[in-house]
Structure 1
Amino acid sequence: MATNHPDDADVVVVGAGPAGATAAHYLASVGLDVVVLDKARFPRDKICGDGLTPRAVAELVRAGVSIDESDGWIRNVGLRVVGGGHRIEIPWPELSSYPSYGLARSRMSFDHLLVEHARTSGATILEGMSVTEPVLDERTGRIAGVTARVLDADGRRTGEERTFRAPVVMAADGVSSRLATSMGIAKRNDRPMGVAVRTYFESPRHDDAWMESHLELWDGRPGESNLMPGYGWIFALGDGTVNVGLGSVSSSAAATKVDYKDLFQRWMANVPAEWGFTEESQRGPVRGAALPMAFNRSPLYDRGLMLLGDAGGMVSPFNGEGIAYAMQAARVASDTVAQALTRPTDSARERALQRYAQVMKDDIGGYYRLGTYFVKLIENPHIMHLCTKYGLPRPLLMKFVMKLLSDGYEPRGGDLMDRVIAGLTRMVPAA
């Protein structure tokens, strides 16, 4: 890890979303010098459902982020599931590992909160920095930093370039991850890929205590054989608006070939009038994003570069959740780096850094692998229809499914359902 140039920081983090900002907080909190680079200027919008599961709430608590409702959060008590002619409400499970509630907040506000939390912790956040390529050590081939173009307030290039050097670089730069691609870490085509689109509506449902999920999407009255692929959601934000969107997942990249904005408009044309989702109440355009799943880019660590969040494909195939795993990866990666940088030799530091990928795969690799099997089962909307029609009326089954789909089970101990799920994740090969 030696270099002929002085380092600008102990760690350079590329991307200031939940993964990057959380990593910056943890790194700065243990006294490391960390520089975070992001091409955007905060606050900025991000495509997301804006709902956080109890697992994500637990990560916020670990990071010391306030989750008080007076600070702009709305709590939810569970999931309302609609499908197959049924409508049921399933509370979040009572666990020792995670709280029994979720949270919601727009990503415009949420990501800005995490960035300011990292700044308060001592991290240097540089906005308007578009990272273009890695800086490599000519002798070892390791990443030794990054080069970035400076953007003005309107996102245009100024012509200025800057180089930032560090012995470790974290790529938290999203699904496309230019940095990982430049280092030869390619996406895997054998992993599921999801797509989601969403918009906002002013709605009387803005303070609903339940996150609502529609497991079937109809562009007409149910029963007319016009079932569309995907699932929908309505997440209350408590500020007069709701986040409304739909998503779909495929066992391959084929999911990206569907016109999801068209599907959304067809769904909205037939929703119940009492929802109040009209052109007049819509706030903002329908926007979409890809959801990289099940570690679809690997290795998660290579030659000084760590992949975090979407850059490493850390979205659950079960439910499209990514924030909890992005923040977990940030926590694990930061602890790994802090430990590694205390080692006296290059070889010892390298051994310590390689631990990051193994810890992540040991913890969630089996769960992700189960999710890939789940995707192959339900990616056909007619199979989903049969599952919802005959499965939703069975409370015990749905409690089990809720734990599985939300990653809301005790990894060690717990009740019989928890032990079954944990056993399944250990039986399958890690993703």
Structure 2
Amino acid sequence: MSNADLPSHCDVLVVGAGPAGAACALWLARAGVDVVLVDQHDFPRDKVCGDGLIPDAHHALRRLGVYDEVMAAAEASRHVACIGPRGGRIDVPGTVAVLPRRELDDIVCRAAVRAGAKLRTPWRFEAAVVEGDVVVGARLKQGDVVRETRARWVVLATGAVPQALQAADMCKRRTPSGIALRGYVKNDAMVGRIKALEVVWHKSLTPGYGWIFPAPGGRFNIGVGIAHSHPARDGEPAKMKDVNLRKVFEAFCAHYEPARELMRTGTLEGDLKGAPLRCSLAGARYSRPGLLVTGEAAGSTYSFTGEGIGKAYETGLLAAETLLAAPGGVPAGTADDVRTRYEAALAALQPRFDLYERANRVNAHPWLADLLIWRARKSERLLRRMAGVLEETSNPGNLVSVRGIVRVLFPGA
């Protein structure tokens, strides 16, 4: 979108123009802050993702003022379909939609520019510029050209790939929490047959799940995700499980007939692409003097569902709000005050992420999905609780706790 000269100074330098970075830059620019937003890619650009927009993303998009523009381009749905290993299905009501990240991120990024943010691409983060123990800017690279931009604050929103975190000395865990593989399939014949966002559990996909999400223009986002792909045991460094994602994808298509038909009768557009996931607000330091980490770089993806767009927006907005709330505003706020406020804001979100970590039992034990689906088809109350998980008004961990399972089997207990 922009290749103009990189400014040498600004109030806030936001590195990464995905959901977290663009949201942060938009919010700050709207408040009159001098913001430079950089990304290593020109926009619009592709991004490996399930592309699902669940209620938290809808809420954030409304706050950002781009909801109508996004929904005009998105494929809206009213349900998330949960499908168990034995084929049982329950359609959980909710406000959901699908829009490929190439279009979604471009919409929010353009809104940030309209608000006054200066977008510069393609610039890659090389290192933090540090004086004493305070980050005072960043060294950025484009081809063979290296430039420095000085800033009162740097916000790192560089996603799940750890290189930028490592370069900024903010990485606590190099390996990801999970991994995913997805592709886009054009199949006009399946339009109207797959209307919900379908999530499928089966023992051949353990410890993960498969999905088919209907996207605009007769396209479908189809993929598989693996939770806890890089476990650490007894203090040892995390190592990759012996998992071949392409074989998991093949198993998904072999098990789930709609996935098999989608691939057999449709046209795969481009290649299947994989990506890491950083979940549960784990794996990175959140701040150091002069620098904040936000979005998936800070682990903003839910481990159970793999949903991260809404929480990336939310943490990006938290970073911006924290900077704006500093005494004297962004230029005058002290590093200690900003860091304390920001880390407290993320800590307030942590219990919610912990609940989704508990709900990961479904991915490890897919028979739990069969149990919940079987009971929800007979219980409006349980279906409402499942809808509440989607809306973040119910505790997902309780559905798969020992007590929760007893209540599912024996409602009067």
> Taking structure 2 as the reference length, what is the TM-score of the superposition?
0.84
Query: Which structure 2 residues correspond to residues 31-180 of structure 1 after superposition, within 5 A?
Result: 31-67=32-68, 71-83=72-84, 84-92=86-94, 101-137=95-131, 139=132, 141-150=133-142, 157=143, 159-180=144-165
Count of paired positions: 378
Matches of 1:19 and 1:163 in 2, distance apart? 22
Q: What's the CA shift for 1:53? A: 0.4
The percentage of counterpart residues that share the same residue type is: 27
Determine if contact 1:200/1:241 at 8 Å carries over to the other structure: yes
Matches of 2:276 and 2:338 in 1, distance apart? 32
Q: What's the CA shift for 1:419? A: 12
User: CA offsets, 1:117-176, max 9 Å, x none?
Assistant: 111111001011111111001x3x1111011111xxxxxx2x211100101100001113
Determine helix, strand or coil for the equivalent of 1:278: helix
Residue 309 of structure 2: aligned partner: 323
Determine helix, strand or coil for the equivalent of 2:169: coil
Q: What's the CA shift for 1:266? A: 3.4
Q: What's the CA shift for 1:326? A: 0.8
Residue 230 of structure 1: aligned partner: 208
Q: 1:420 to 1:217 in 2, by over 3 A?
A: closer
Matches of 1:135 and 1:298 in 2, distance apart? 19
Determine helix, strand or coil for the equivalent of 1:397: helix
Q: Which runs of 5+ in 2 are unaligned?
A: 1-6, 232-237, 402-413
Residue 400 of structure 1: aligned partner: 385
Question: Is 1:283 matched up with 2:277?
Answer: no
Q: What's the CA shift for 1:23? A: 0.8
Determine if contact 1:171/1:305 at 8 Å carries over to the other structure: yes
Q: What's the CA shift for 1:182? A: 2.6
Q: What's the CA shift for 1:249? A: 0.3
Give the counterpart letter for 2:321 in structure 1. D
Q: What's the CA shift for 1:319? A: 0.7
RMSD (Å), alpha carbons: 2.8
Question: Is 1:202 matched up with 2:186?
Answer: yes
Q: 1:68 to 1:127 in 2, by over 3 A?
A: closer
Q: 1:229 to 1:178 in 2, by over 3 A?
A: closer
Residue 427 of structure 1: aligned partner: none
Determine if contact 1:217/1:267 at 8 Å carries over to the other structure: no
Q: 1:232 to 1:217 in 2, by over 3 A?
A: farther
Deviates more, 1:82-91 or 1:325-334: 82-91
User: CA offsets, 1:173-218, max 9 Å, x none?
Assistant: 11134333233222348x9811110001112334544111111265
Query: Which structure 2 residues correspond to residues 400-419 of structure 1 after superposition, within 5 A?
Result: 400-404=385-389, 406=390, 408-410=391-393
Q: What's the CA shift for 1:398? A: 4.4
Q: 1:283 to 1:174 in 2, by over 3 A?
A: same
Q: 1:125 to 1:373 in 2, by over 3 A?
A: same
Give the counterpart letter for 1:333 in structure 2. A
Q: 1:254 to 1:53 in 2, by over 3 A?
A: farther
User: CA offsets, 1:246-288, max 9 Å, x none?
Assistant: 1110172556641112221233245426833227521121111
> Taking structure 1 as the reference length, what is the TM-score of the superposition?
0.80
Q: 1:29 to 1:51 in 2, by over 3 A?
A: same
Q: 1:217 to 1:279 in 2, by over 3 A?
A: farther
